[in-house]
């Protein structure tokens, strides 16, 4: 009997800053409301001033579990602006995901280490080696 590896999946959380910088994190687990809120907290620390975050309506962005954490972050200067439902064309990060999946990374089979390295290369070199116009 051959056992299949159980659904290991690389998830990327990312924010495209108005400066053109990409702030990101890679995780090998499902993105929960707590992980999302923690990422927003790290983003706020990184930026260091009041920020407005434009996001889509993914369930993790609106989950009940994020509400207390997001209320605290709002007091620290974080504002969330939700895009209209079903409007990926308004979300710059969607273009990044599309290019990452279908242009910059080949469709070759890869193990998890190679996948993480390839994704890391794109995230680390966004704005220099990997660019796009919105």
pLDDT in tens, 25-51: 999 999 999 999 999 999 999 999 999
- Residue 134 CA to residue 132 CA, distance in Å, equals 6
Lowest mean per-residue pLDDT among 19-23, 45-49, 69-73, 123-127:
69-73
Over residues 72-119, the pLDDT tens digits come to 889 999 999 999 998 989 999 999 999 999 999 977 767 889 899 999
Confidence of residue 7 (pLDDT cuts 50, 70, 90): low
Residue 127 φ/ψ region, left for φ over 0, alpha for ψ in the -120 to 50 degree band, beta for the rest: left
Q: Under CATH, which number does the domain 11-106 receive? A: 3.30.420.10
CA 104 – CA 134 distance, rounded (Å): 17
């Amino acid at each position: 009997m051959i056992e299949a590896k159980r659904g290991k999946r690389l998830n990327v959380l990312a924010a495209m800053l108005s400066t053109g910088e990409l702030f990101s994190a890679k995780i090998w687990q499902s993105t929960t409301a707590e992980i999302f809120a923690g990422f927003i907290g790290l983003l706020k620390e990184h930026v260091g001033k009041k920020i407005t975050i434009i996001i889509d309506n993914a369930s993790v962005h609106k989950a009940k579990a994020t509400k207390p954490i997001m209320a605290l972050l709002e007091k620290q200067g974080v504002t969330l602006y939700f895009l209209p439902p079903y409007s990926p064309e308004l979300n710059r990060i969607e273009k990044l995901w599309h290019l990452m999946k279908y242009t910059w990374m080949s469709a070759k089979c890869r193990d998890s280490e190679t996948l993480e390295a390839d994704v890391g290369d794109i995230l680390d070199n966004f704005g220099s080696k990997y660019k796009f116009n919105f």
